[in-house]
Chains A and B, each alone.
Chain A
């Protein structure tokens, strides 16, 4: 089964660029991604640009409305994701728990729907 691991955290929390912790933190991400790739679990992964770059689009009565900023004004925002191939939810939980942001943010796990043809 494929699971989407959505990485949420408050911007500005966790190791920041320029601090001593940032290097090891980024290395941990690199190692994790490499491990997922080598084990065959990695389907896709990306980090997102900060929330300041977000634009929200709605269409109402045929009119496109664009708003500056994210869809939900919450403290914790989506910062990136891993799409992983896992055996079951327990396996997905174990893999998500190893994403470096899990120690200060949150990882939401959602299974991918497989559409019947």
Chain B
């Protein structure tokens, strides 16, 4: 028997890692997400009582799933609401009979079906994110509420409503047909990237959770190039996490980051994914962004950065996603690859865009380019606008410092 503390940590880790796989498998066999979650909770409560006494079972996932199934059978028997489910009941009882000492490998992996259910377009985007974190990541309602600055009760209601809609509206637990797959996969990837970005600027478990979901997706759909692209992108971004802020939490931009603080293992992994994926030729936005990130990550210094290639990649990205966000980044790359004037000309080309007035990175970029073009009055105006639009303290202090240096 393990000492209590160690066993608790071990139990917690096991539960956390197995949650998504077990919940997905249970949901598929019970046909009801809420019921599956309730039964899994019961099984976990039981595990927390029994495991520290008897030690971790050989196959914890299988133990949990058969305990949860037994709970489901009990509920079916007791509850008149489930009376109509007699066929399921006998099916479950059959499963249970042969489930003595089950093989953990025999649990079918239904996580892919589950992630498509959680990210179904009939659900609101915030709900898609929350539900994915709850069902695939096993995050608690409180954790999710904290990450989204919501009250736990509000988040709990959102999740309950979503589970009810899935059941009542008949949102299927399945991988969409081939003709719908690309569109639906785009939603799933967007949700994972949203989770990553929500956790990127603040210390939270979300960035790590998004990477974990990305790994699951890549493992389950190894042939989808954009899935690999997104995972590579998140790894390459996350590799710079430690170098992005100083001891007092101040923001450190890419050009002055200590590259020794970059996580080489993540860079190597992200780059390898990309090298294996790009030659397949189904290039999409995530792969392009990952390729840009990889060029930065592999460059020994800011000055040695391959700006012409980065500018070209942003050009391709702009063809796929003609947005202000991409154009501003492209203009910055062009200012290094060609000239500051060429970069400024690109920013000028955006001036009719109505989003521009409130888009902080545009004004920060213009301020930087005007400084480099020695047009200090224009630079000061842009810095002031950018500072006014900045919501994050560390970023604002960074821009104020820049403004002070040219005043």
A positions within 8 Å CB-CB of B: 1, 3, 86-90, 92-93, 109, 111, 113, 116
Contacts and interface: CB of A to CB of B under 8 A. Distances in A.
A1 B170 contact: yes
A102 B365 CA distance: 43
Contacts of A3: 170
Nearest to A90: B172
A1 B166 CA distance: 13
A109 B170 CA distance: 11
A93 B169 contact: no
Interface of B: 81, 84, 120, 122, 168-172, 174, 176, 180
A87 B169 CA distance: 11
Contacts of A90: 171-172, 174, 176, 180
B170 A93 contact: no
A93 B122 contact: yes
9 contacts: A3-B170, A87-B172, A88-B170, A89-B169, A89-B170, A90-B171, A90-B174, A113-B168, A116-B84
Contacts, number: 28
Contacts of B176: 90
A111 B122 contact: no
Contact of B171 (A86, A89, A113): A89
B170 A111 contact: yes
A94 to B, nearest CB: 8
A3 B120 CA distance: 18
A88 B81 contact: no
Contact of B81 (A86, A93, A116): A116
Contacts of A87: 170, 172
A86 B81 CA distance: 23
Contact of B172 (A89, A113, A116): A89
Contacts of B169: 89, 109, 111
Nearest to B184: A90
Interface centre among B122, B168, B169, B180 (most CB of A within 10 A): B169
B122 A89 contact: yes
Nearest to A86: B170
Nearest to B84: A116
A3 B171 CA distance: 12
B170 A92 contact: yes
Contacts of B172: 87-90
